Amino acid sequence: MERKTGLWKKTAKSGLSYYFGQRDGMKVTLFQNKDKRSENDPDLNVIVEIEEAQEEPGDNGAPVDDLF
């Protein structure tokens, strides 16, 4: 395993707690699943945002949105 970032506890304007960290163009947010209705639903949700790099001329890489 490789450590990517630490997470810091924050409080939203609504009063709900969440955790946030960022490093090298990657942002991670972890928060409680407020829609949990059964044991099969996850306890936490994780959002990962990766900043898109500037596309170089001739770059044939797929846009990030096309990967999901």
Sign of the dihedral defined by the CA atoms of residues 8, 10, 16, 18, in that order: negative
Per-residue pLDDT for 13 more than 60?
A: yes
Q: Is 68 contained in some domain? A: no
Q: Of 1 and 66, which is predicted with more confidence?
A: 1
Whether residue 66 lies inside any domain: the answer is no
pLDDT for residue 64 is more than 90: no
Asked whether residue 15 is domain-assigned, the answer is yes
Residue 68 pLDDT greater than 60, yes or no = no
Determine the structural domain holding residue 30 and report its residue range: 1-51
Q: Is residue 59 part of a domain?
A: no
The H or E element that residue 5 is part of is none
**Residue 38: inside a domain, yes or no?**
yes
Question: Is residue 46 included in any domain, yes or no?
Answer: yes
Looking at the domain assignment, is residue 11 inside a domain? yes
| Mean pLDDT, all residues of the chain | 82
Q: What is the pLDDT of residues 42-63, one digit of tens each?
A: 999 999 999 876 555 555 554 4
